[in-house]
Amino acid sequence: MAITKIPAAGFTGNNFRNIIINGDMSIAQRGTSTSGCTTSGYYACDRWDTNISSLGTWTISQSTDVPSGQGFANSMKWDCTTADASPASTDNIIIQQHIEGQNLQYLKKGTSSAESITFSFWIKSNKTGTYTVQLRDIDNARHISKEFTISSADTWEKKTLTFAGDTTGAFDNDNAKSLQLDIYLGAGSNFTSGTLASSWSSYTQANTAPNNVNLADSTSNYINITGLQLEAGTTASDFEFLPYDVNLKRCQRYFISNRSGANLLGCAVFTAASFNTNEAWGSNPFPVYMRASPSITIYTIAQVAGSADRFGGGTAVCAAVLIHPSGFSALNGSGTFTSSRIYGCTYEATAEL
């Protein structure tokens, strides 16, 4: 009798075809909302870097506003709270995801067999007009841009863009940033004064987004986006939904936070024993092997950065040391520990590209 294989729940077709991580905006380890954003950084949803260069002030959040009937629970929202209607030449605001070269080798970039890439996503904004998506090859200083139009205000629309394969310049086969996906929400003349780079070419900043709107020109402006999928080929497949735990682990390769809901008696807290006033030793394996040895900020349970709690009362100023992609194992107290006591802390570990 033939045996029919049933795919795991949440998986359909060719698993992990989506180059983008957290395209459904379901993971938000840093928190669900940050206001007053005026500089670049990772806010709200994991893996999404917002490059802000002196163009407005923003509240960036994980939202429950999603396209109806598509299976999404979250989107990411950028809400302008201080406007800038006249960008300086170097100003911009860009939604970005950075991608490791070793995850891109099957695209065969730099060969005569280079694969085309299709980018699909859902987007909603009050500001209609032309926006730009750029693929930027960091290894070889090359890029290609495609425009899309938001046609109807305050309406979810699905967009699909196909980029030709690039026969020039292979991606490095390593864990460093090779490809950058950029979605332009606004930019100054340094990015808009040229002609759109509609085919792969040497990177020319002026040719990035010549017709782009400025989403920062009014405090009424916002944008929501979800369902981002980047895949090999010339057609867009249905969005690849992953189980929450799988998606979380993919995000934790780049960022881990155990600050939420931790307590001194909980297993989420790193504990270490002090043998003198300078050192405390323990063992903290990460839930996944991170992309590289991360930078770590430790916190007390009261969320004081750079300090750990002493069991029985008190705190000590210290930092994580002996750090490896698989975990860390000690705290350096530089004379602030009490000898022969147990210390506990929560932490954030960052190995973003």
pLDDT reported for residue 259: 85
Confidence of residue 86 (pLDDT cuts 50, 70, 90): very high
Q: What angle do CA 235, 182, 169 make, to 5 degrees?
A: 75
At 183-197, the pLDDT tens digits run 999 999 999 999 999
In this prediction, residues 238-263 reach a mean pLDDT of 92
Give the C-alpha separation, 97 to 255, whole Å. Answer: 14
Opening angle at CA 123, ends 120 and 128, nearest 5 = 120
For the chain, percent of residues with pLDDT exceeding 90 = 92
Q: Which pLDDT does position 201 carry in this prediction?
A: 98
Percent of the chain with pLDDT over 70: 94
In order of 24, 157, 169, 217, 312, the CA distances from 241 in angstroms are: 8, 19, 32, 35, 46
pLDDT given for residue 216 in this prediction: 98
Q: Are 256 and 105 in contact (CB under 8 A)?
A: no
Mean pLDDT of all residues in 87-106: 98
- Return the amino acid letter for 19: I
> Per residue in 139-195, pLDDT tens?
999 999 999 999 999 999 999 999 999 999 999 999 999 999 999 999 999 999 999
Question: pLDDT at residue 14 above 90?
Answer: no
Residue 262 binned pLDDT confidence (cut-offs 50, 70, 90):
low
Distance CA 173, CA 150 (A): 36
pLDDT at 1: 43
**List of domains in the chain:** 33-252 (2.60.120.260), 255-350 (no CATH)
Whether residue 217 is predicted with pLDDT greater than 80 in this model: the reply is yes
Percent helix / strand / coil, the chain, rounded to 5: 5, 40, 50
pTM of the model: 0.94
252 vs 266, higher pLDDT: 252
Cβ atoms of 116 and 233 within 8 Å: the answer is yes
**pLDDT at residue number 268:** 72
Q: Cα(200)–Cα(164) distance, rounded to whole angstroms? A: 8
Tokens standing for residue 157? 């629309």
- Output phi, psi for 105, to 5 deg: -60, -30
